[in-house]
Amino acid sequence: MIQVNALKKAYKDATVLDIPTLIIPKSECFGLVGNNGAGKTTFFRIILDLVRATEGEVTIDGEVVAQTENWKYKIGAFLDEHMLLSYLTPDEYFEALRKIYRLSKEDLRDHMEKFADLFNGEVVQKKKFIRDLSKGNQKKVGIAAAMMGNPEAVMLDEPFQNLDPSSQIRLKKLILAEKETQNITFLISSHDLNHVTEICDRIVLLEKGKILKDLREKSEMERELDAYFQVS
């Protein structure tokens, strides 16, 4: 579904991303890990055409993301709170997205029901602006928004950050359920190794913009990542 070809991103003389080739197939739960500055967020932003590559390209279903917009209807994403319309309440925000995606009110109601446990009575129907929610609840709004419109792939940057332990467990269950029932491809960047190794089919480790490891076995993931981060 997503393919990277000879991708490089450089700022002046510093190359921050250098990925010769990478293929992320449909329905895979793909994890991306690495220390700060490894290039994880830059990579996600290039996939979403928020940052232009210096060289190479990213394609989604064969279409170069920098040359067309057709792929945008296939991808949902939440990278940070700046992607939200913070002057709206969550209910207003979801209603605006419903109209953009041309969903019925019943479609929106069904979508919101999936997030009832994650929201835990703290997000919708509270008449609070998104900007006034806690960081964790803002993240819940962003994740729910990213999954609207029946996307084929969802990209989440640090989805477990700022969530309490109960919400982290609920989010993991939600991601696994959506992957299995809707065949959604998930791309998850996270510093939380326990969560990504638990839910991801595959984990790529970035170091200084380059792929250091591409791990696909659960036992290998835990062993290799523990060894790497203990040393680094």
Sheet of strand 14-24, all strands in order from the earlier edge strand to the far edge: 14-24, 2-11, 55-60, 63-64
> Model confidence over 149-176: pLDDT tens digits?
999 999 999 999 999 999 999 999 999 9
**Count of residues in the chain:** 232
Domains for the chain: give ranges and CATH numbers: 2-74+151-231 (3.40.50.300)
Distances (CA, A) of 131 to 86, 100, 107, 125, 209: 5, 21, 26, 15, 33
Question: What is the rounded CA–CA span in Å between residue 42 and residue 62?
Answer: 21
**Structure tokens that stand for 199 in this block:** 């839910």
- For helices 135-146 and 90-101, what crossing angle results, to 10°? 10
Which 3 state secondary structure label does DSSP give 30?
strand
pLDDT tens readout for residues 21-64: 999 999 999 999 999 989 999 999 999 999 999 999 999 999 99
The Cα 142–Cα 147 span in angstroms is 9
pTM of the model: 0.94
Residue 177 pLDDT level (bands cut at 50, 70, 90)? very high
